[in-house]
Chains A and B, each alone.
Chain A
Amino acid sequence: EDKVVQSPLSLVVHEGDTVTLNCSYEVTNFRSLLWYKQEKKAPTFLFMLTSSGIEKKSGRLSSILDKKELFSILNITATQTGDSAIYLCAVISNFGNEKLTFGTGTRLTIIP
């Protein structure tokens, strides 16, 4: 059975801090790993990672994938209160069925 594990489950930091969120996975026929941000509504897409070692960056957020060690990290630098959300990691496995397997998420709270 495919499994995605995120850590920590919850994180509280002060505005301006840098945070690192972790995602490890065990899936058959791995294809891609995705990060989503969920505030009080639907998940919104952040990154899709397919190749090892290539950093994806968007403003203060960045992410990288290690396919040998089966994990990914999401970094957020100079955090702001608007970064408070649940961050979800998901993997797509098996060419053909596009199934997303999600982790339970990391709840990030930024204190002003």
Chain B
Amino acid sequence: EAQVTQNPRYLITVTGKKLTVTCSQNMNHEYMSWYRQDPGLGLRQIYYSMNVEVTDKGDVPEGYKVSRKEKRNFPLILESPSPNQTSLYFCASSLLGDEQFFGPGTRLTVL
């Protein structure tokens, strides 16, 4: 089944404890992206990648890192999470020029 998977789906952590949210797609998509969704602010792009080893900042990249070592995986890294990074995170992927497919979401709470 063609899909985008994310893990974990739910995470509660404490300020400053490094964490990684994984994202994987099995559709051979070149493009992958991370968004966060907050009430009243909608979905905002954090980072995106046009292909392997190519990443760039979105609208809200501060406090996040990404890597794209393989085409299928695009992990999101929070080196030192803070409470303002409590949010619902979505990974998405697409062929260039096509609609983006979203993963199931990761609800992160930073205490």
Residues of chain A whose beta carbon lies under 8 Å from any beta carbon of chain B = 34, 36, 41-45, 48, 88, 90, 96-105
Contacts and interface: CB of A to CB of B under 8 A. Distances in A.
A48 B99 CA distance: 7
Given A48-B99, A98-B96, A41 B44 contact: no
Q: Classify the secondary structure of B's interface with A.
A: strand
Interface stretch (B14-22, B64-72, B74-82, B102-110): B102-110
B27 interface: no
Interface in B48-70: 48, 50, 56, 58
Contacts of B96: 98
Contacts, number: 54
B30 to A, nearest CB: 9
A43 B90 contact: yes
B42 to A, nearest CB: 4
Contact of B105 (A42, A100, A104): A42
Contact of A102 (B43, B48, B94, B101): B43
Contacts of B98: 48
B33 interface: yes
B39 to A, nearest CB: 9
B42 A98 contact: no
B90 A42 contact: yes
A112 to B, nearest CB: 26
Contacts of A97: 48, 50, 56
B56 A105 contact: no
Nearest to A2: B59
Contacts of A42: 90, 102-105
A103 B41 CA distance: 8
Contacts of B94: 98
A103 B43 CA distance: 8
A40 to B, nearest CB: 10
B43 A98 contact: no
B42 A41 contact: no
Contacts of B90: 42-43
B53 to A, nearest CB: 16
18 contacts: A34-B100, A42-B105, A44-B102, A45-B99, A45-B100, A48-B98, A48-B99, A88-B42, A97-B50, A98-B96, A99-B33, A99-B48, A100-B33, A100-B43, A100-B92, A102-B44, A103-B42, A104-B41
